[in-house]
Amino acid sequence: MLRPGAIANAAGSACPRSDGREPTAILLHHQRGEIMNRREFLGSSLTAGAVLAAGTHSLGAAQATTAQQSTPATASLKKLPIGVFNPPFRKLSLDEMLDLYVSMGIEAAEIGAPGYTGTPQCPAPDLIADPAKAKAWKKKFDDRGIPIMTLTCHANPLYPDTVKGPKFAQQFKDAIQLAGMLEIPTVCGFSGCPASSATEITPAWVVYNWPPEHAATLKWQWEERVIPYWKDIAQFASDHGVKRIALEMHPNMVVYNARTLMRLRDAVGDVIGANCDLSHMFWQGCDAVELIRYLGKQGAMYHAHMKDTAFFPQNVDRFGVLNFGLTTDKEASECFRTVGYGHGASEWKDVMAAYMEIGYDGMISIENEDALLSGEEGVRRGLTLLKNVREELLAGHTNPGEHVSA
């Protein structure tokens, strides 16, 4: 797995570090006492990237190149649908967006309901008020062979302000109610983040229980705000026929990694699962494949966002990985990019293989927040890469190495 220090471009290549050091993928082999020459490195890391650079028509040649190293295992692999989270297309009408989806070969839809990422293509309150209108809305997707597999409401339902908090909480309930009406299997959102006490009105993200006042804050947040709220929402979801709430493990929210997710799931029940957005996991230092396997073993993988994180090694060395920023911030340690612009195609192939391995039954959803590419272009590039690696896997061509048989 590429770590901070190996920056991958769109073709899946690991670029040399600007400080002259070897890419991390090679260093790891040195540390294990292995010898890995340039040809071996390129063969194991860049084959799928070369496909992306050359275009989809080159897939067969790339497969032939790797056939001797591949293990056919297609019988148990499911062709996971690759779709898109729609905020990049918010300026289009619903019909315009869907026609574009068809032309791009998008196979499933994640739609932004209310919240931070709400989109005009989903007027949730209007649809809830008119069931016939809601069914006609969903039929537009079905008629084009693009099922809505997820409704998403990114909001902070635990916001302590007496105006914003109830508004966000109602928006999340609207998403659940609409999903139940239309038999959409999964609702995505954030866990939220409350204040540090009952008298404060600003969210306080606390991740460490020292000094002692922080331990007291964490205890109060979880016992008095987080768990009670989510128990109520779990019942609301059950009442409306929604069995899966996928929480994005997101910094600045109380659920920000797999451990905090499982803490909430243990307290509330298996209606709670993960929206595994690897972009947030990468900059926290997680191994993508091990994380997917862990959540799969818990039966807690409910949704998969496809978004990448690019690292800037000199800034990581100086400031560490908590120094997240935008592409315009020259001192940022990392930033979001579209799939393939932070980690190479070989690693995304391992990610796709891991989702197949655990029996994941949701969609692979591209979320484009790449400030250097337009929404449509970012989606197109991610879609090309993910379809290429999926087809290689379905043809039995896995990557060599530790992730294949672990």
pLDDT at residue 239 is higher than 60: yes
Number of compact structural domains in the chain = 1
| Residue bearing tokens 């929402």 | 233
- Tell me: pLDDT of 59 over 50: no
pLDDT digits (tens, 9 = 90+) for 168-207: 999 999 999 999 999 999 999 999 999 999 999 999 999 9
Q: Is the residue at 16 inside a domain? A: no
Report pTM: 0.81
pLDDT in tens, 261-296: 999 999 999 999 999 999 999 999 999 999 999 999
CA dist 101 and 90 (Å) reads 13
Instruction: Decide if 94 is inside a domain.
Output: yes
* pLDDT value at 75 more than 60: no
**Any domain includes 47:** no
The percentage of the chain sitting over the pLDDT mark of 90, rounded to a whole number, equals 78
18 inside domain: no
Average pLDDT, the chain: 85
More confident residue, 158 or 17: 158
- The answer to whether 353 and 72 have CB atoms below 8 angstroms apart is no
Q: Residue 366 region, left (φ>0) first, then alpha (ψ -120 to 50), else beta?
A: beta
pLDDT score of 113 more than 80: yes
Query: What is the pLDDT, as a whole number, of residue 227?
Result: 98
Of the listed ranges 54-58, 357-361, 389-393, the one predicted with least confidence:
54-58
Instruction: Report pLDDT digits (tens) over 301-347.
Output: 999 999 999 999 999 999 999 999 988 899 999 999 999 999 999 99
The predicted structure's pLDDT at residue 26: 32
Phi, psi of 91 (to 5 degrees): -80, -10
Q: Is the peptide bond before 211 cis (omega within 30 degrees of 0)?
A: yes
Confidence at residue 327, expressed as pLDDT on a 0 to 100 scale? 82
Which residues in 326-393 belong to E strands, given as ranges? 334-337, 364-366
Taking only the tens place, the pLDDT of each residue in 7-44 is 333 333 333 333 333 333 333 333 333 333 333 333 33
Residue 25 counted as domain residue:
no
The pLDDT, as a whole number, for residue 74 is 52
Residue 45, domain member (yes or no): no
Query: Which range of residues forms the domain containing residue 394?
Result: 73-405
pLDDT tens digit sequence for 362-379: 999 999 999 999 999 999
- Contact in structure between 321 and 333 (CB atoms under 8 Å): yes
**Residue 345, domain CATH:** 3.20.20.150
Identify the DSSP state of 115.
S
DSSP, res 398: P
Query: H or E element: which one contains 190?
Result: none
pLDDT of residue 338: 97
Taking CA atoms, 155 is separated from 116, 129, 165, 339, in Å, by 6, 22, 9, 24
The SS3 call for residue 220 is: helix
Q: What is the mean pLDDT of residues 69-81?
A: 66
Do 59 and 51 meet the contact criterion of CB atoms below 8 Å apart? yes
Domain assignment present for residue 373? The answer is: yes
The verdict on residue 1 lying in a domain is no
pLDDT at 399: 86
Q: In the predicted model, is pLDDT for residue 58 greater than 90?
A: no
CA distance 237 to 176: 6
Check residue 326 and give its pLDDT: 85
Residue 298, helix vs strand vs coil: coil
Residue 355: which H helix or E strand, with range? helix 345-357
Between 396 and 18, name the one with better pLDDT: 396
Q: Give the CA distances from residue 368 to residues 138, 243, 341, 380, 386, in Å, rounded to whole numbers and listed in that order.
A: 23, 27, 12, 10, 13
